[in-house]
Amino acid sequence: MNILLASSEVFPYSKTGGLADMVGALSKALGADGNNVTVITPLYRGIREKHPKIQPTDLEFSLPLGGLTVDAKAWSLEPAENVEVLFVEQDDFFNRPALYGEGGRDYPDNAARFVFLSKAVAHLARTAVETPEVVHVHDWQVGLVPLLGCRSQTSLLGAN
């Protein structure tokens, strides 16, 4: 079975709490059961340096976000059998000192950051991975993925 997991954090790459632990463990368990698992998550600051086996891909894309067009590219790592992690690189959104905010305050553009992540997940699911039979989204940061659609060519991906 082709399974897509989408999460704003995945252990051991990024972590603020139990979400990262669960997604990291779930992906490996599903892969060990013989499923083809793709995990999509942001490429936060420091991940490439801490995990030098992450490689750039030829996946570059531009997506609408409000009145803007936002460019991104994907990086890849295969941490376990049948598991690939695709990291979304978009420095304006994800190359920051922390995942969600600093000094006890959320980043003011978190909504835009994670709407973009949801759009990136839907785009990559339709163009870069084997068509997922199961799409499992984790927490509000990727909550729009089911609405945007991962299988249909007539999704709301272009909607602002």
Q: How confident is the model at residue 13 (pLDDT cuts 50, 70, 90)?
A: very high
Residues sharing a CB contact under 8 Å with residue 64, sequence separation 6 or more, in sequence order: 70, 119, 158, 159, 160
Tens of pLDDT, residue by residue over 93-141, are 999 999 999 999 999 999 999 999 999 999 999 998 888 999 999 999 9
Cis omega (within 30 of 0) for bond into 42:
no
Identify the structural domains of the chain with CATH numbers, from first to last. Answer: 2-148 (3.40.50.2000)
3-state secondary structure the chain: CEEEEEECCCCCCCCCCHHHHHHHHHHHHHHHCCCEEEEEEECCCCHHHHCCCCEEEEEEEEEEECCEEEEEEEEEEEEECCEEEEEEECHHHHCCCCCCEECCEECCCHHHHHHHHHHHHHHHHHHCCCCCCEEEEECHHHCCHHHHCCCCCCCCCCCC
Across the range 148-159, mean pLDDT stands at 52
- Output the pLDDT for position 6: 97
Q: Are 14 and 138 within 8 A, CB to CB?
A: no
- Output the pLDDT for position 128: 87
Across the range 1-7, mean pLDDT stands at 96
Asked if residue 150 has pLDDT above 90, the reply is: no
Tokens of 150: 């991962």
Tens of pLDDT, residue by residue over 25-76, are 999 999 999 999 999 999 999 999 999 999 999 999 999 999 999 999 999 9
**What whole-number percentage of the chain has pLDDT above 90?**
89
- Output the pLDDT for position 129: 86
The number of C-alpha atoms within 13 Å of 102 and in the hemisphere containing its C-beta is 4
- Output the pLDDT for position 156: 38
Asked if residue 151 has pLDDT above 90, the reply is: no
Nearest-5° Cα angle at 107, 73 to 65: 45
- How many other C-beta atoms can be found within 10 angstroms of the C-beta atom of residue 106? 11
Q: Are 100 and 107 within 8 A, CB to CB?
A: yes
